[in-house]
Amino acid sequence: MNFLAVMGRITFGFLQAAGRLGIFAATTISHMIAPPFYFRSLIQQMMTIGYYSLPVVGLTALFTGAALALNIYEGGSRFNAESALPTIVVIGIVRELGPVLCGLIVAGRVSASMAAEIGTMRVTEQIDAMATLSTDPFKYLIAPRVVATTLMMPFMLVIVADVIGVMGGFLIATGKLGFNAGNYMSVTMDFLEIKDIYASLTKAAVFGFFISLMGCYHGYYSRGGAQGVGIATTNAVVSACMLILLSNYIVTEIFFAT
């Protein structure tokens, strides 16, 4: 009996959270597409999320591309397939590692910061104050953050991650493993399909939406002072990472399942 009660409570809790998140997402989307738009706030967020995330995303992509090249070369040499290195690096980076690693890094950086900022505003009554000043917090705080992350992920961060990641592999292959630079680039370009790029950018946009949605959602509903903000921040990062990995599989299935 007790066990059933516990299971019931867990199920109700889950359904309640799912419903609240669904309503939050629908409200956010309605504010993203309906005026008024706060362009100043949007540009500020684009700078914070896009421009200031570039160094960490660039470094991650560079070292991942380099390590990937070393691994593929060593693994490929076991069955004389070293020459497949440029192909595997470009497909691995563009289809998978570029968007996923970039998403996870941005989730750690951006989702946490959004949850902490909005959560602090919630517990210090700044969000209530905004509402009393006839300004919808969804319009002013949440919509610009979600739009900025959804745009910056594909059109700035993941494009840069893809290019630098491939460059990391190129530098190791030509500088250390004896590949010819011209051949390497030519093979890379030959095997890269437009579909790979579409998949990469689609994943980036989906990840960007989830990263900002989770940061804003957990911050908006945080309560109970500093501890509540801390919990909201942790939950934002964990749930954003989970959604990135889940949606990564779904988008891959849509694009590449035969």
Partner 1 sequence: MIDTPKISLKGLHKQFGQKIVLDSIDLDIMPGESMVIIGGSGSGKSVTLKCILGLLHPESGSIKVDGEETIGMGRKDRKRIQEKFGMLFQSAALFDSLPVWENVTFGLLAAGKIKRPDAKEIAIENLRSVGLSPDVALLSPAELSGGMQKRVGLARAIASKPEIIFFDEPTTGLDPIMADVINELIVERVKEMGVTALTITHDMSSVRKIADKVAMIYKGNIIWSGPRNDIDNSGNAYVEQFIHGRAEGPIQMEVLKA
Of 125, 198, 245, 256, the one binding partner 1 by CB under 8 A: 125
Residue 244 · residue 103 · CB < 8 Å = yes
Using CB under 8 A as the binding rule, whether residue 27 contacts partner 1 is answered as no
Interaction of residue 37 with partner 1, rule CB under 8 A? no
Asked if 140 touches partner 1 (CB under 8 A), the answer is: yes
Encoded tokens for 193:
């399909």
Interface with partner 1 by CB under 8 A: which range of 131-139, 145-153, 207-215, 224-232?
A: 131-139
Among 11, 77, 124, 180, binds partner 1 (CB under 8 A): 124
Count of residues that interact with partner 1, criterion CB under 8 A? 16
Q: Is residue 99 reached through a cis peptide bond, with omega within 30 degrees of 0 on the bond before it?
A: no
Q: How far is the CB of 133 from partner 1 (least distance, A)?
A: 4
Stretch binding partner 1 (CB under 8 A), from 1-9, 129-137, 185-193, 201-209: 129-137
Binding range to partner 1, per CB under 8 A, among 67-75, 118-126, 157-165, 231-239: 118-126
Cβ proximity of 143 and 245 under 8 Å: no
